[in-house]
Amino acid sequence: MNLSFYRRLPPTLIRVLFLVLVTSSVNGALLGARTTPDSQGLRVTVDAATGDYAIGQLGTASDVLKSTIAAKVDGHWLHARDYPKHTITESTVHGNLGIAHEWRVRHSESAGAPDLFYSLSSYANLPFCEIQVQVLNNSSQTIHIEAIRLIEGEEGHILELGGPSASDRVLSDSFSEDRPALKIHDLGDTPGTMHRGVGSQLVYNRQSHLSFFAGALTSDRFLSVFRLYVGGSSGTPKIQAFEVDSTGTTELTKENSLKQSPPEDQIELSLPLEPATVLSSERIFFGVSSDYHTQLEAYGSLIRTLHHARVSSSTPMGWWSWTAHYFGLNEGTALTNAHWLAQHLAPFGYDYFHIDEGYQYARGEYTTPDATHFPNGMAALEKKILGKGLIPGIWTAPFEVADRSWVYQNHRDWLVRNAKGEPIRLGRLDGKDQLFVIDATNPGAQEYLRQTYSTLANEWNIRYIKLDFMEDTAVEAFYYRPNTSALEAQRIGLQIIRQAVGENVLLDKDGSPMLNPVGIVDAGRISLDTGHTFVATKDAASGVAARYYMHRNFFVDDPDAFNVSTQIVIDQPWHGGKVPLSLDEAKASIALSAVSGGMYEIGDDLPALGADQERLALVQNQDLIEMVKLGRASTPLDLMSYSPEDGQPSMFLLREDRRQNILSIFNWTDKPRSHSIEFSSLGLSTLDKYRASDVFSCQEATTVHTDSFVVDLPPRSARVLKIINIGLQARPPTIKVEHVQDAKTGAALTFRAQQASPDDSVVSYRWTFGDGVTLQGPEVSHAYTRPGKYKLTVTAIGLGGLSTEDSFQISVTGSLSTRFSPTERRRYVPAN
């Protein structure tokens, strides 16, 4: 993987949409095609006769994509190339990635139709573009917009990547992490007549090694839906059309939560546009490259900056109840597992204790426990968990309401409605409880959300909250606030929850579009549910691989829990298994969590796990724990180039520092597999010498040559190899520390530490303040209660336990006033 472009990204990405430096406006009829001037990125052409745009690689004559724009207005599609007049304005702008050449193209003078605009920015030195489309209602009547199309490739060149179409492979992101299950497809392996993506889509040609990527930069009102239509046969497929729309969620919810709902509940988004007003699409980022890893990572970095993603928290490690006990968890089994975690695994860093669904009386009533399973309530239980030094966590489905819940019984006016004024019906929970959607724009419902989540955070002492099934509740409807889209309502609700719980509670989105919660949540599910079967691990792996670039860009990745014990769950057929996991299958499960670099949760009953020392050793494995604590996702080397025999990505590389790499290899098949791996394919110099050892067995890998090594894998297994450059000595990390030298008594001080360079790997930080207080983490806050001179020491622990210390002195002056002073009192006002 070539990271040279990624390193060239500016440290601060400035979002300025239309900063016009030089402008020229010319009637399209007088111009020929206009091409990017002095571009080192893409070759971009705008056709003056039609207003179409085309992109290709510099130095080549052929276009990869030729496209127009369109909008669905009052039930009919309006296509830009059908308009009689096309006006082109060009300018130089500061875009999200630096200096760009921008075309602003207006399609006008179509009788009775609104004007269509698009702004297309092509970066001068980068192979990326951005586009946004606007609809201007220049009539005297209100019109209604159902969708805005930013890319419509139906003629000429449609994703021609320089190789045969049969060599194309397609990665389409999903509506949520599992709706539908993410799977990478060959072009001819079409689910139906098209490959459909939500949020992003990547097309890679395995012969030319050229890729096209497009991803949504915003999620203000619309869902971004990508459709790649394919004809021909599976052996000789042909791309017939490519579309990218800003639209509503109904196309997706009709296949999921609204599948069994009556037609009146399946409402299509239709936003009114008053005369002389403009409606904008979402912004789309796209480009052509010979390095798809760079495309994905640049996109992830851009999302982190634009949306102020919350990605600084330490990686959560702990236990969750769902795959251990499902709906059977009760107060006694919860406490037993909490005791076991605190006594045996908390010293390794496993301190989150996450109680999943089943504790509550009904969906939508999360502060009312089920008295059958929790007769003493949850507040007392969570207090006991907190008292053991664990971090309490809880599951919720924030916008889902069951017909048994208090909200449905007392406030059906808080539910989203169809045109008849009736609450929209989702499916049923396990064929029983009827489910509905709470209206996050309704003031009464908003206050209920505030009270619910404030109770969880402030009375139950919850510090981790899972937010589930948000894709099911993201339905287009008649909301209390008129003309609100499903994604707008979802984000309003999420903002209310964040305000209610404060900044220090970790929110984990589970079951929602990937982009919409970014900037509000701290963690996000990226894969299918796991469970006590190898098939569950295999099915989850494509999501972990495909969304690796989201880790600490969108949020901290949540790969779901790993399962390593011999526990059998016979009454949950979609998760459990009648046959215990083999040891090799258990290794595959925990290795998949480790390569994500994200949340690291045990999904087994802990006493059952502890009864098998060989399985327990997997959970205590220090190399895997270091992978997680470093907080980096392993790169899926064969994300788009995996072999047909493997059927999905199977090789992941984590560069821990300049000396040490971790290579994780999975065998997803039922047959033994053997891989001969060249060091050069891992970006390692063949001039150096390496030692490759198995992380699980601590034995050296067999058959190591000067330029390669061989890895043999039994069926349904994983090998995690530590590759060390034996010519380099292990050394402790070097760090940079932000601190003050002088402070006032009682003042809250913030201290930060970070690795000095990418080659310095830090597993954990420990701060000693010289007054008896010790804190953990890269960023901490502390106040001194007495004046004096204090020696503050920060210890950075690196790979293999090697550590470095940095000490400095702080002079604290002044004293805390003990007098009552009304004039210095200020009312606390929560942040908006």
pTM: 0.94
What local confidence, expressed as pLDDT, does residue 11 receive?
A: 36
What local confidence, expressed as pLDDT, does residue 40 receive?
A: 56
Q: What is the DSSP secondary structure assignment for residue 549, as one 8-state letter?
A: G
439-494: pLDDT as tens digits: 999 999 999 999 999 999 999 999 999 999 999 999 999 999 999 999 999 999 99
Average of per-residue pLDDT across 14-36? 33
Question: What is the phi/psi pair of residue 420, to 5°?
Answer: -85, -5
Q: What is the CATH code of the structural domain delimited by 317-409+440-474+486-565+578-614? A: 3.20.20.70
pLDDT of 558 above 60: yes
Distance CA 728, CA 658 (A): 8
Cα dihedral sign, 609-612-615-621: positive
* Structure confidence at residue 271 as a pLDDT band (50, 70, 90): very high
State the DSSP H helix or E strand holding residue 467, giving kind and residue range, or none if neither.
Answer: strand 464-467
What local confidence, expressed as pLDDT, does residue 674 receive?
A: 95
Among 520, 640, 667, which Cα is nearest to 584's? 667
pLDDT of 832 above 70: no
In order, the DSSP letters of 346-403 are GGGT--EEEE-TTSEEETTEEEEE-TTT-TT-HHHHHHHHHHTT-EEEEEE-TTEEET
Q: Tell me the average pLDDT of the chain.
A: 92
102-117: pLDDT as tens digits: 999 999 999 999 999 9
What local confidence, expressed as pLDDT, does residue 234 receive?
A: 84
Among 474, 548, 562, 556, which Cα is nearest to 521's? 556
State the DSSP H helix or E strand holding residue 302, giving kind and residue range, or none if neither.
Answer: helix 292-306
- CA torsion 666-669-672-677 (nearest 10°) is -40
What local confidence, expressed as pLDDT, does residue 569 receive?
A: 83
Average of per-residue pLDDT across 272-301? 97
Q: Which CATH superfamily is domain 635-725 in?
A: Golgi alpha-mannosidase II (2.60.40.1180)
pLDDT of 522 above 70: yes
What local confidence, expressed as pLDDT, does residue 704 receive?
A: 65
* Structure confidence at residue 44 as a pLDDT band (50, 70, 90): very high
CATH classification number, 4-306, choose in 3.90.1200, 1.20.950, 2.70.98, 3.30.70: 2.70.98
636-649: pLDDT as tens digits: 999 999 999 999 99
What local confidence, expressed as pLDDT, does residue 830 receive?
A: 65
791-807: pLDDT as tens digits: 999 999 999 999 999 99
Question: What is the phi/psi pair of residue 791, to 5°?
Answer: -95, 115
Helix, coil or strand: residue 647: coil
pLDDT of 405 above 70: yes
User: Is the Cβ–Cβ distance between 367 and 379 less than 8 Å?
Assistant: no
667-723: pLDDT as tens digits: 999 999 999 999 999 999 988 989 999 999 988 765 566 788 899 999 999 999 999
What local confidence, expressed as pLDDT, does residue 220 receive?
A: 97
What local confidence, expressed as pLDDT, does residue 1 receive?
A: 34
Average of per-residue pLDDT across 385-410? 98
What local confidence, expressed as pLDDT, does residue 574 receive?
A: 65
Question: For the chain, which residues make up each domain, given as ranges?
Answer: 4-306, 317-409+440-474+486-565+578-614, 635-725, 735-813
1-21: pLDDT as tens digits: 333 333 233 333 323 222 222
What local confidence, expressed as pLDDT, does residue 438 receive?
A: 98
Helix, coil or strand: residue 515: coil
Question: Of all residues in the chain, what percent carry a pLDDT higher than 70?
Answer: 94
Average of per-residue pLDDT across 203-229? 98
759-770: pLDDT as tens digits: 899 999 999 999
More confident residue, 437 or 571: 437
Distance CA 600, CA 560 (A): 8
Average of per-residue pLDDT across 73-83? 97
pLDDT of 259 above 50: yes
Average of per-residue pLDDT across 232-237? 90
What local confidence, expressed as pLDDT, does residue 702 receive?
A: 57
728-772: pLDDT as tens digits: 999 999 999 999 999 999 999 999 999 999 889 999 999 999 999
Tell me the residue type at 610: G
Average of per-residue pLDDT across 164-174? 97
What local confidence, expressed as pLDDT, does residue 571 receive?
A: 79
CATH classification number, 735-813, choose in 3.40.50.2300, 3.90.940.20, 2.60.40.10, 3.30.450.20: 2.60.40.10
The answer to whether domain 635-725 and domain 735-813 are alike in fold is yes
Residue 373: half-sphere exposure toward Cβ, Cα within 13 Å: 20
pLDDT of 39 above 50: no
More confident residue, 574 or 647: 647
What local confidence, expressed as pLDDT, does residue 317 receive?
A: 98
pLDDT of 665 above 80: yes
